Homo-oligomer: A and B are copies of this chain.
Amino acid sequence: MIYPVILCGGSGTRLWPVSLKAKPKPFLPLVGQTSLFEQACARVADDARFGEPVIVAGAAHEALITEQMDGKPHRLIIEPAARNTAPAIALAAEVLDPDAIMLVCPSDHYIAKPEALREAAVAAAALAAKDYLTTFGITADRPETGYGYIRHGRALDGGFAVAEFVEKPDLERAKSYLASGEYSWNGGIFAFRAGAYLDALAQYRPAMAKAVKASVAGARSDGSVIHPAPEEFAGIEGDSVDYAVMENTPNAAMVPADMGWSDIGNWAALQDALIEQEGNADDQNVVRGRADLADCTRVLAMSDGPRVSAVGLEDVCIVVANGEVLVTTRDGAQKVGKLPGAKDQ
Interface residues of A (CB under 8 A from B): 17, 292, 294-295, 303, 306-313, 316, 318, 320, 323-329, 331-333, 335-336, 338-342
Query: Is there contact, CB below 8 Å, between B308 and A325?
Result: yes
15 contacts between A and B (CB under 8 A): A292-B341, A294-B335, A294-B338, A307-B323, A309-B325, A309-B328, A309-B341, A310-B328, A311-B327, A311-B328, A311-B332, A312-B328, A312-B331, A313-B329, A318-B325
- Tell whether A324 pairs with B340 under 8 Å between CB atoms, given A312-B331, A312-B335, A332-B312: no
Q: Which B residues are CB-close (under 8 A) to A307?
A: 323-325, 341
With A294-B339, A311-B335 already in contact, 5 other A-B pairs whose C-beta atoms are closer than 8 Å = A306-B323, A311-B329, A312-B335, A316-B316, A318-B325
Q: How far is the CA of A303 from the CA of B160 in the complex (A)?
A: 55
Q: How far is the CA of A320 from the CA of B340 in the complex (A)?
A: 18
Query: Is there contact, CB below 8 Å, between A292 and B340?
Result: yes
Query: Is there contact, CB below 8 Å, between B313 and A316?
Result: yes
- Tell whether A294 pairs with B325 under 8 Å between CB atoms, given A309-B340, A340-B309, A341-B307: no
- Residue in A295, A318, A327, A329 with the greatest tally of chain B CB atoms within 10 Å: A327
Q: Whole-angstrom distance from the CB of A209 to the nearest CB of chain B?
A: 40
Q: Whole-angstrom distance from the CB of A283 to the nearest CB of chain B?
A: 14
What is the total number of copies of this protein in its complex? 2
Query: Is there contact, CB below 8 Å, between B338 and A326?
Result: no
- Residue in A309, A313, A316, A329 with the greatest tally of chain B CB atoms within 10 Å: A309
Q: How far is the CA of A72 from the CA of B295 in the complex (A)?
A: 46
Q: Whole-angstrom distance from the CB of A100 to the nearest CB of chain B?
A: 44
- 8 shortest interchain CB distances as A-B pairs: A312-B332, A311-B332, A312-B329, A311-B328, A310-B327, A309-B339, A308-B325, A309-B341
Query: Is there contact, CB below 8 Å, between A295 and B335?
Result: yes
Q: Which B residues are CB-close (under 8 A) to A324?
A: 306-307, 309
Q: Which B residues are CB-close (under 8 A) to A328?
A: 309-313
Chain B residue nearest in CB terms to A314: B329
Q: Whole-angstrom distance from the CB of A177 to the nearest CB of chain B?
A: 26
Q: Whole-angstrom distance from the CB of A278 to the nearest CB of chain B?
A: 21
Q: How far is the CA of A307 from the CA of B326 in the complex (A)?
A: 8
Q: Which of B294, B306, B332 contacts A294 (CB 8 A)?
A: B332
Q: Which B residues are CB-close (under 8 A) to A331?
A: 312
Query: Is there contact, CB below 8 Å, between B326 and A310?
Result: yes
Q: Which B residues are CB-close (under 8 A) to A310?
A: 326-328
Q: How far is the CA of A333 from the CA of B341 in the complex (A)?
A: 27
- Residue in A294, A325, A342 with the greatest tally of chain B CB atoms within 10 Å: A325
Q: How far is the CA of A309 from the CA of B317 in the complex (A)?
A: 12
Q: Which B residues are CB-close (under 8 A) to A341?
A: 292, 307, 309
Q: Whole-angstrom distance from the CB of A49 to the nearest CB of chain B?
A: 43
Q: Which of B312, B327, B332, B333 contacts A318 (CB 8 A)?
A: B327
Q: How far is the CA of A311 from the CA of B325 in the complex (A)?
A: 12
- Tell whether A306 pairs with B325 under 8 Å between CB atoms, given A338-B294, A339-B311: yes
Q: Which B residues are CB-close (under 8 A) to A332?
A: 294-295, 311-313
Q: Whole-angstrom distance from the CB of A295 to the nearest CB of chain B?
A: 6
Q: Which B residues are CB-close (under 8 A) to A17?
A: 309
